[in-house]
């Protein structure tokens, strides 16, 4: 393969809902560029992307696949991405390195929830979009309905470049209002003939052409003057205006095609080459806000956007050359960890096919192998160290506990889970000391089930997926006091320590109270010292030394604090962490011989436990902000399901063709919510969830939790 300069490279990401035909479209693009000499099919499990065993089993994309094709003396890097929201991580990582998104629309389904999701991400990452209405050869294809839905979704930004002459089995031609020609296809291998537009389509074509010229002219004053003077623009002038509008996100061109029959693929690729932005037009931000131009001069830097482990190759690192020229045997520095890395080999990638090249220019995308300590989201550079802004992945939506069926597999399971997180950062692995579980989080149940399939079939580890425990918190609502004497005599030195303490709720901004009424008697405290702690699990502990007259020696105060801390780490109600408490140690007794640190640690621990139970204890649960995007016809079912989950509806709004519900929902009620939502909306809804705060559980829930904990303790 020749070396392509930055201006002859185009980087596109294929987007679209599941079954929109992205993989088939990628196959046709590779065929047109002679990278393959025969197009495979998803059904025959013979496509260049979707080449893993699990993707062929499900017959859908699960991982983002890097491809390339060569066309009109240009190199097109193509990333074929999954269409399911469960695998959104692959789409987000692709947006980091691609310059243009091609949104593939299923002509049978029109705008789907995936279309909306990916369009929002494209807007968030400021990526230009091209629309490609696919599967127009299908009997159920409906061009007009699809067009109306796209107008509703994308508004007046959408600009029609092509329209079909007929749809269904008769779809073999379309009118292109940019070139003002009709393209008819003789076979299923992309053989096209260029014809004049038939008379019965000429008026419609003229109308759309005039609109396209006007839309192009709006982006450049000189073009606008030309358009006003002549009433028309040349193809080159239209392309110039469209290029400006596309780059600025003001124009979203619309194309028609059949990827299955290779209709329209050539024209789309030509448009990408002539109109879509080259990497030269892009700049990448570093973590310190510096903007790095994509030019082949100066220092070389690459951004690792994805890593995998392959059986015969080992670690494979996928990258984009952000600046400079990358060459074989180049020494680079990983700015994230300071390690030196040598680029032993560079490959242009088309799925499993890798062509070795000696160099890549700024803007190109490829892979290398056997780097020593590199992960996704890291930067390698020569000269001045650079760290590019990392990919921001969406928060998790599905949570489960995972456990190996055999203890001998525990260590191996841990290694594989850590590797899974490195390859897919949307898989989050947490070893929870609090819950005594390994918590696995992902984008949905299907996402986690794919990982389970690999554990079982690839790594031969049998595992169980369990309901995850909830990280409850315990606190108090009123003042209470208690005392506890620890006394133990067993020959030799004994143990003795007595602690009197008082606790009250900690509220940020309120001063300590040195006057309290306990059992009808007023207690006045003489505060001599204060220690304040931010707990690892949230909330605070304030610890006050109110000892007078030397009833407890000062050297035992840290031991009392340690006992209290131990009990806060294992709350008295359910064993959950305790938080937001003030403790006043005001009296006690000690023995000149038998008192020691362990005695006062145990006395402090038990005095705290007794006072906690008398202080109006309450259990608090994590509550999440949930935002659901749902089609209008499923709104009632989704609202009903949320209310059954103890949700508090915070607001509702409309966004294009979808309704948006904002609610606060307890984490305990969100178990497998993504699966339920998909079921009741036939996969047309999506949601996000982010931690909000802790709130008190209802009385009936608290009673249930207390009974469950008591039963568990008896069983233990």
Rounded distance between C-alpha atoms, residue 301 and residue 388, angstroms: 9
The rounded mean pLDDT for the chain is 94
Residue 479 CA to chain centroid, in angstroms? 44
The model's pTM is 0.88
Q: Give residue 438's pLDDT band: very low, low, confident or very high (50, 70, 90).
A: very high
Identify any residues that bridge with 255 across adjacent strands, giving them in sequence order. 132
**Residue-wise pLDDT tens digits, 250-286:** 999 999 999 999 999 999 999 999 999 999 988 889 9
Whether pLDDT at 490 is above 80: no
H helical segments located in 221-376: 221-230, 235-247, 265-275
Backbone angles phi, psi at 298, to 5 degrees: 85, -165
**Mean pLDDT within 439-447:** 95
What is d(CA 217, CA 211) in angstroms, rounded to the nearest whole number?
Answer: 10
In this structure, the number of other CB atoms found within 10 A of the CB of residue 610 comes to: 16
Q: Which CATH architecture has domain 620-701?
A: 2-Layer Sandwich (3.30)
Where does the pLDDT of residue 493 fall: very low under 50, low under 70, confident under 90, or very high at 90 and above? Answer: confident
Confidence grade of residue 491 (pLDDT, cut at 50, 70, 90)? low
Q: pLDDT higher for 335 or 642?
A: 642
Q: Report yes or no: 684 and 390 within 8 Å, Cβ to Cβ.
A: no
Q: Angle 235-247/221-230 helices, nearest 10 degrees?
A: 140
Cβ proximity of 550 and 486 under 8 Å: no
pLDDT in tens, 618-640: 999 999 999 998 888 899 999 99
Give residue 558's pLDDT: 97
Confidence of residue 321 (pLDDT cuts 50, 70, 90): very high
Rounded average pLDDT over 322-345:
95
Count of C-beta atoms within a 10 Å radius of residue 291: 8
Residue intervals of the chain classified under CATH 3.40.50.300 are 8-281
Mean pLDDT of 496-512: 95
CATH number for the 284-381 domain, one of 3.30.1490.20, 3.40.50.300, 3.30.420.40, 2.40.30.10? 2.40.30.10
- CA 105 – CA 353 distance, rounded (Å): 28
How far apart are the C-alpha atoms of 378 and 371, rounded to whole Å? Answer: 12
Dihedral angle at the C-alpha atoms of 386, 387, 388, 391, nearest 10 degrees?
160
**pLDDT value of residue 211:** 96
Domain 477-616 has CATH 1.10.3720.10: no
Q: In angstroms, rounded to a whole number, what is the distance separating the alpha carbons of residues 75 and 61?
A: 23
CB atoms < 10 A from the CB of 429, how many? 16
Q: Can you name the CATH fold of 8-281?
A: Rossmann fold (3.40.50)
State how far the Cα of 654 lies from the Cα of 507, in Å rounded to an integer: 39
Q: CA 393, CA 124: separation in Å to the nearest integer?
A: 12
CATH 2.40.30.10 residue ranges of the chain are 284-381
Angle (CA) 184 16 625, round 5°: 160
Distance separating alpha carbons of residues 563 and 558, to the nearest angstrom: 9
Rounded to whole angstroms, how far apart are CA atoms 301 and 657? 42
Polymer length in residues for the chain: 716
pLDDT of residue 715 exceeding 80, the answer is no
Q: Is 345 exposed, middle or buried (0-12, 13-18, 19+ CB in 10 A)?
A: middle
- pLDDT confidence tier of residue 712, bands split at 50, 70 and 90: confident
pLDDT value of residue 716: 66
- All CATH 3.30.70.240 domain ranges of the chain, comma separated, are 620-701
pLDDT, residue 549, reads: 87
Q: Please give the full DSSP string across 471-510, using - where no structure is assigned.
A: --EEE-SS-EEEEEEEEE--SSS-EEEEEEEEEEE--TTP
Q: What is the mean pLDDT of residues 556-583?
A: 95
CATH number of the structural domain 398-469:
3.30.70.870
Band (608; pLDDT cuts 50, 70, 90): very high
């Amino acid at each position: 393969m020749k070396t392509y300069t930055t201006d002859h490279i185009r980087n596109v990401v294929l987007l679209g809902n599941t079954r929109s035909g992205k993989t088939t479209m990628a196959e046709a693009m590779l065929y047109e560029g002679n990278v393959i000499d025969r197009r495979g099919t998803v059904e025959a499990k013979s496509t260049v992307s979707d080449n893993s065993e699990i993707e062929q089993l499900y017959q859908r994309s699960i991982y983002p696949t890097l491809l390339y094709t060569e066309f009109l003396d240009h190199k097109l890097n193509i990333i074929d991405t999954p269409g399911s929201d469960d695998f959104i991580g692959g789409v987000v990582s692709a947006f980091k390195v691609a310059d243009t998104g091609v949104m593939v629309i299923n002509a049978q389904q029109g705008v789907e929830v995936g279309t909306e999701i990916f369009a929002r991400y494209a807007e968030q990452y400021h990526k230009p979009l091209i629309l490609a209405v696919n599967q127009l050869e299908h009997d159920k294809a409906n061009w007009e309905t699809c067009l109306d839905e796209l107008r509703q979704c994308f508004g007046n930004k959408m600009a029609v470049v092509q329209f079909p002459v007929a749809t269904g089995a008769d779809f073999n031609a379309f009118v292109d209002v940019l070139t003002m020609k009709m393209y008819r296809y003789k076979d299923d291998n992309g053989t096209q003939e260029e014809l004049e537009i038939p008379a019965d389509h000429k008026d419609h074509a003229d109308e759309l052409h005039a609109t396209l010229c006007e839309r192009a002219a709006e982006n450049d004053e000189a073009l606008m003057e030309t358009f006003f003077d002549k009433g028309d623009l040349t193809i080159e002038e239209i392309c110039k205006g469209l290029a400006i509008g596309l780059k600025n996100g003001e124009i979203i061109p619309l194309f028609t095609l059949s990827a299955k029959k290779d209709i329209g693929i050539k024209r789309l690729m030509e448009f990408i080459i002539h109109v879509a932005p080259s990497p030269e037009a892009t700049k990448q931000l570093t973590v310190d806000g510096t903007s790095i131009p994509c030019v082949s001069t100066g220092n070389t830097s690459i951004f690792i956007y994805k890593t995998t482990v392959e059986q015969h190759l080992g670690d494979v690192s996928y990258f984009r050359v952000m600046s400079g020229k990358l060459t074989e045997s180049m020494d680079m520095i990983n700015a994230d960890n300071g390690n030196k890395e040598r680029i032993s080999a560079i490959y242009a990638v088309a799925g499993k096919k890798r062509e070795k090249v000696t160099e890549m220019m700024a803007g190109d995308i490829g892979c290398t192998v056997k780097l020593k300590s590199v992960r996704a989201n890291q930067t390698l550079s020569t000269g001045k160290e650079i760290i590019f802004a990392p990919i921001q992945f969406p928060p998790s939506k599905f949570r489960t506990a995972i456990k190996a069926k055999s203890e001998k597999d525990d260590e191996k399971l841990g290694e594989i889970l850590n590797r899974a997180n490195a390859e897919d950062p949307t898989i989050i692995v947490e070893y929870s000391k609090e819950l005594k579980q390994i918590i696995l989080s992902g984008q949905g149940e299907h996402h986690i089930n794919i990982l389970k399939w690999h554990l079982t079939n690839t790594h031969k580890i049998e595992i169980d997926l369990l309901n995850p425990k909830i990280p409850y918190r315990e606190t108090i609502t009123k003042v209470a006091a208690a005392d506890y004497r620890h006394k133990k005599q067993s020959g030799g030195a004994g143990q003795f320590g007595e602690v009197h303490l008082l606790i009250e709720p900690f509220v940020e901004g309120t001063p300590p109270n040195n006057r309290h009424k306990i059992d009808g008697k007023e207690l006045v405290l003489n505060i001599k010292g204060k220690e304040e702690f931010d707990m690892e699990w949230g909330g605070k502990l304030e610890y006050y030394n109110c000892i007078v007259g030397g009833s407890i020696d000062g050297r035992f105060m840290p031991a009392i604090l340690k006992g209290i801390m131990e009990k806060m780490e294992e709350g008295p109600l359910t064993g959950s962490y305790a938080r937001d408490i003030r403790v006043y140690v005001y009296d006690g007794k000690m023995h000149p011989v038998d008192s020691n640190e362990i005695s006062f640690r145990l006395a402090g621990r038990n005095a705290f436990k007794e006072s906690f139970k008398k202080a109006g204890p309450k259990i608090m649960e994590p509550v999440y902000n949930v935002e659901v995007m749902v089609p209008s016809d499923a709104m009632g079912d989704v609202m009903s399901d949320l209310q059954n989950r103890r949700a508090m509806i915070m607001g509702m709004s409309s966004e294009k063709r979808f309704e948006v519900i904002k609610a606060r929902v307890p984490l305990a009620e969100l178990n497998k919510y993504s699966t339920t939502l998909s079921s009741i909306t036939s996969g047309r809804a999506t949601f996000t969830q982010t931690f909000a705060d802790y709130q008190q559980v209802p009385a009936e829930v608290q009673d249930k939790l207390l009974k469950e904990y008591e039963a568990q303790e008896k069983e233990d």
